[in-house]
Structure 1
Amino acid sequence: MIVAEGLTKRFGDKTAVDDVSFTVHPGKVTGFLGPNGAGKSTTMRMIVGLDRPTAGTVTVGGGAYRTLRSPLTEVGVLLDAKAVHTGRTAREHLRAMAATHGIGRDRVNEVIELTGIGSVAGKRAGKFSLGMGQRLGIAAALLGDPHTLILDEPVNGLDPEGVRWVRQFVRHLASEGRTVLLSSHLMSEMSQTADHVIVLGRGKVLADAPLAEIVRAWTRASLVVRSPRLAELAQAVAGPDVVVTPLDPGAAEITGITAAVVGDLAASLGIPVHELTPRSGSLEDAYLALTGESVEYKTKEIA
């Protein structure tokens, strides 16, 4: 379990993390989301003792990370896949890490095969592609078979097979009762992986709830309706809470009304309906609604 209480970090006059409190429970995958500059990386660095909090506390398994007697066997961490000696081979890098904790070579070989880097384990890490570097970083995080796993953007640079493997593997670890904190900007992937979501914006917690609950609270279900008499149908369903948004000729997205009501109205008026497809909100929709006012680095919209 990871517990943060009143966690704050200031760099000069800038507050990167502002009075953040949350609990990451074992047995589930917790997604850690937020725009660039939201404070996610700083928070994860404080969890593992790389940054000292200005105020507040954070514990892993009941104690501060710096007090752990055998960190690799208790907490697996991937914050920067490039944090390797570029002149060492992947196998040498993992063996050097293993030696600090008395971990045998069999375990090194096991994580090499587990992460799919067996064919390049004898090559220098500095020559690795982004995806291979990520796999090596994940192997290092898994080396001590830890109970807690903290992964920052673990699927960055991975091919589809690698992305699916990470998704399935972290869910398997959580099913074993382990604590998993996973940061990613890929909302579609996070929606398939996370059970619970913590969202940061400008250093503050914007949401901390089960994924399904966040989607329900921050999105509206809609219908895609297609009809050759769409204008008539739109007029029939009009109401104070109903919004009709044209998509293309003969099609529209409608919110504020159920498919059953639209279908019954169309039938009663003899209006043909060629499509009536319910659409539920997505994690991406919820995330954008949550963080819309907290994006520090805004891009210019394309007209």
Structure 2
Amino acid sequence: MSKRYGDRRAVDDVSATIQAGAVTGFLGPNGAGKSTTMRMIMGFDRPDAGSALVEGRRYADLDAPLRTVGALLDAKAAHPGRSARNHLIALAATNRIPRRRVDEVIGMTGLESVADKRVGGYSLGMGQRLGIATAMLGDPGVLILDEPVNGLDPEGVRWVREFTRQLAREGRTVLLSSHLMSEMAQTADHVIVLGRGRVLADAPISEIVGSASGDHVRVRSPRVGALTAAIQSPDVTVTPVGDDTVEVRGVGAQVIGDAAASAGIPVHELTPVRASLEEAYLDLTKDAVEYRTEVAR
């Protein structure tokens, strides 16, 4: 799909397939086109070119949309004067969903204590829980969640992680956006990364992380200079990070340990360090950030 707003191309020929039975993370800097893409899937915005299909059909052509796909795109979508219960009852009635399902999703999302209070008085976290309850009301096979952990406390974040993982285990399709890389690393099976409206990566999370340049071995030795000389080769990069500590790239911990033992060099630390999803993400998007800030030093 492609979408332009004035002179700005918000989404530029984005193409992807979101698989069932997995949590697909949707990542990208602010302004990358994630929310616009999600809105086009749901029919709120119309693409200038291309189309989005849910189970092979446009959202507008689905016979029972709420039973097919549930979405959280705006945590404040409910009327502030209504209670969560009445909001869900109205949606259930207009979509021929049994009223008992309202109580089920209220319990599922931990809203029992505030279900009869006005939504306008909800915290951001409670609003997010209501948004997820709304998305789950039709027991859909497809879930689209835009920043569902925004405003949640650590318990709530953990709940969203376990909840979405359980949905995927049930065979549902889950598309989840977030700016919390550490949380996405624990939740997603597959990752799609957007930058300036284009797909920068579309691969399993292990492949995304494995392609990052952050893998290294942290080595600490009182004879770090001698150890550096023992492992030096054109493919090995050694970066000092302290008086007796270096980061080594291009060779594994076993080779370093064997070289130290052969040369009689004592080693006080030999720690393989894997690149993180955050490092992989920053590497992928370094040229696609529209709103850049400088870090004070």
Q: Give TM-score, length-normalised by structure 1.
A: 0.95
Q: Give the SS at the match of 1:135.
A: helix
Return the match for 2:179 from 185, 203, 219: 185
Preserved CA contact (<8 Å) 1:199 1:208: yes
Q: Partners of 1:118 and 1:132 in 2: how far apart? A: 11
The residue that corresponds to 2:25 in the other structure is 31
Match in the other structure for 1:16: 10
**Which residue identity does 2:247 align to in structure 1?**
E
What SS does the aligned partner of 1:21 have?
A: coil
Choose from 164, 167, 181 the match for 2:161: 167
1:126 aligns with 120
| The one of 187, 202, 209 aligned to 1:215 | 209
1:296 is aligned to: 290
Shift of 1:220: 4.3
1:253 aligns with 2:242: no
CA distance in 1, matches of 2:164, 2:21: 10
Counterpart CA distance in 1 for 2:168 and 2:241 is: 41
Amino acid at match of 2:250: G
- Please identify, of 240-249 and 196-205, the stretch whose mean Cα deviation from structure 2 is larger: 240-249
Amino acid paired to 1:15? R
Matched, 1:270 2:260: no
- Which residue does the alignment assign to 2:230? 236
What is residue 129 of structure 2 aligned with on the other side? 135
1:229-257 Cα offsets, whole Å, 9 max, x none, are 22221232222222222233322221111
Q: Aligned letter for 1:259?
A: A
Q: Which residue of the partner structure matches residue 93 of structure 2?
A: 99
Q: Which residue of 1 aligns with 2:108?
A: 114
For residue 202 of structure 2, what is the amino acid of its counterpart? D
TM-score normalised by length of structure 2:
0.97
**TM superposition shift of 1:222:** 0.7
C-alpha contact 1:200 1:206 (8 A) present in aligned 2: yes
In the alignment, the residues of structure 2 paired with residue 37 and residue 237 of structure 1 have an alpha-carbon distance, to the nearest angstrom, of 45
Amino acid at match of 1:132: M
Residue 82 of structure 2 aligns with which residue? Answer: 88
More displaced 10-residue stretch of structure 1: 117-126 or 210-219? 210-219
Letter in 2 for 1:31: G
Alignment RMSD, CA only? 1.1
3-state SS of 2:135 partner? helix
1:67 equivalent among 43, 58, 61: 61
- For 2:217 and 2:263, how far apart are their aligned partners in 1? 19
How many residues of Structure 1 are paired with residues of Structure 2 in the alignment?
Answer: 297
SS in 2 for 1:200: strand
SS at match of 1:57: coil
CA distance in 1, matches of 2:89, 2:123: 21
Query: Counterpart of 2:141?
Result: 147
Structure 1's unaligned 5+ residue stretches are 1-6
Alignment-mate amino acid for residue 156 of structure 1:
N
CA contact (8 A) 1:90 1:125 kept: yes
Q: Does structure 1 retain, via aligned residues, the 8 Å contact 2:214–2:276?
A: no
- Aligned partner of 1:3 in structure 2 is none
> Structure 2: where are the runs of 5+ without partners?
none
Aligned to 2:197: 203
SS of 2:24's partner is strand
TM-superposition CA deviations, 1:248-269 (whole Å, max 9, x none): 3322221111111110111112
- Structure 2 residue matching 1:36: 3-state secondary structure: coil
1:69 Cα offset (Å): 2.0
Identical-pair percentage: 66
Match of 1:4 in 2: none
**Structure 2: how far apart are the matches of 1:152 and 1:62?**
22
Structure number having the greater strand percentage: 1
Q: Is the 8 A contact 2:74 2:131 kept in 1?
A: yes
Do the aligned residues in 2 keep the contact of 1:219 with 1:282 (CA within 8 Å)?
no
Ranges of 4+ aligned residues in structure 1 off by more than 3 Å: none
